[in-house]
Amino acid sequence: MFTGLVQEIGTVTVADHSADGTRLAIEAELAAGLSTGDSVAVNGVCLTASATKAGSFSAEVMAETLRRSALGPLEVGSPVNLETALRAGDPLGGHIVQGHVDGVGEITAVVGEGFAQLVSIAVGPDVVRYLVEKGSVTLDGVSLTVAELRPDGFVVSLIPETLERTTLGKVVPGSRVNIEVDVLAKYVERLVPR
C-alpha cells in the first residue's frame, strides 16, 4: 500500500523489452533502503524489487502489467515517480493507493492558472464512473484531487511543489499517464445494490 506522495524521481538505466516482459533497472537514492522482494511504486504501478544495490534497483514488469499501464514505453533515461511501500506508523498524507492501475489516460490540455497548472485527462467511461469532483485520484503515482469531472475525463490542478517534485511537471498534450481511482469507490459499487 502507498499514499501517492512521491519520494523521488528516479531514472531508468536499463529497459530490456522482450516478448516475455520488461526488465527495468532504476537509479534512485531510495534504493539504499530497499531489499529484494520489497514493493515500490514506479509511476504508480506496484512492482517488486528483484535486485537491489546502493543507488539502484531492478524490477520485472510482466505482460499483464504492460497491457494495463503506461510502463511499456519507458526507455533508458526516462524519469519515473517512485514511492516505497507505506509502513505501519507512517503518516498517510495522500490517500490509500494500491499501485493497481485502473486505466491509462491521455493528457489533452495543460493550461496555466496563476501559479498552478490545470491538466485535463481523457479516460474511458470505465474509469470516469469511479471519479467524483473533489475526490481522490492517482496519476502516475501522485495523489491528486479531481478539480472538475467531465463525461470523457477529468481535470486536476497541480501546485508548484507537485510540478517540481514529480514527472507531472513535464506532461504535455498526448502524454499517457497511469490512473488509479480511489479503491473505496470500487468497493462501494460492489457492495451497494443499484
| The pLDDT of residue 184 | 84
At 43, list the grid cell: 509511476
| The pLDDT of residue 37 | 97
Sign of CA dihedral 89, 91, 95, 98: negative
Q: Assess whether pLDDT exceeds 80 at residue 178.
A: yes
| The pLDDT of residue 14 | 97
Strands 153-158 and 176-181: unpaired
Can 8-84 and 103-191 be said to share one CATH topology? yes
Mean pLDDT of the chain: 95
- Segments making up each domain of the chain, as ranges: 8-84, 103-191
At 22-74, the pLDDT tens digits run 999 999 999 999 999 999 999 999 999 999 998 999 999 999 999 999 999 99
Helices (H), 4-143: 63-68, 125-128
The answer to pTM > 0.85 is yes
* Overall average pLDDT of the 10-27 stretch: 97
Quick check: helix, strand or coil at residue 68?
A: helix
Fold of 8-84: Elongation Factor Tu (Ef-tu); domain 3 (2.40.30)
Q: Assess whether pLDDT exceeds 90 at residue 89.
A: no
CATH 3.40.630.40 for domain 103-191, yes or no, is no
| The pLDDT of residue 194 | 66
At 91-125, the pLDDT tens digits run 888 888 999 999 999 999 999 999 999 999 999 99
